Amino acid sequence: MAAAKKKSYQDEVLGRLNKDKETVQAEIVKDTVEDFTIECEAQISLIKASDIPSLTSKVTRAKRDVTKAKKALTESKYDISSGDFATFVYNINQAQATVTVTENVVKSLSENLAGKKADLKRMEELLATLKS
């Protein structure tokens, strides 16, 4: 019946004081790895559920903006309604600048998306290492 008895507070404190250095270090490492694993899983979830879908939508929208800007450029080349050559050239240059800007936005967003996908891959590799 004494074996089933719960340890007293005093026995518990003495047990903790009597732990050797290796046991204490092993407990610290185990706790830290568990914390890192949880954090890594949280980061993976965030990237998968939020970052990648959001950037994918932004890339799609930006590509649509490029299509619209190119259409506007084409239209500006045939718009002589102002009757003024300088205005005609200015409108074409503005439309071309808009195409360039929107293409740069697509490039930047695509690079960000590729970076997030690379981050995800690294996090998944790290998680596999933490769980091994």
Tens of pLDDT, residues 31-62: 999 999 999 999 999 999 999 999 999 999 99
Compute the distance between CA of residue 36 and CA of residue 27 in angstroms, rounded to an integer: 14
Residue 15 included in any domain: no
Instruction: Encode pLDDT of 83-130 as tens digits.
Output: 999 999 999 999 999 999 999 999 999 999 999 999 999 999 999 999
pTM of this structure: 0.76
| Residue numbers of the domain that contains 103 | 23-131
Tally the domains of the chain.
1
Residue 11 included in any domain: no
Interaxial angle between packed helices 85-131 and 21-46, expressed in degrees from 0 to 180 and rounded to the nearest 10: 150
Residue 18 included in any domain: no
Compute the distance between CA of residue 105 and CA of residue 60 in angstroms, rounded to an integer: 11
Long-range contacts for 83-92 (Cβ within 8 Å, ≥24 apart)? none
What pLDDT is stored for residue 11 in this prediction?
Answer: 72
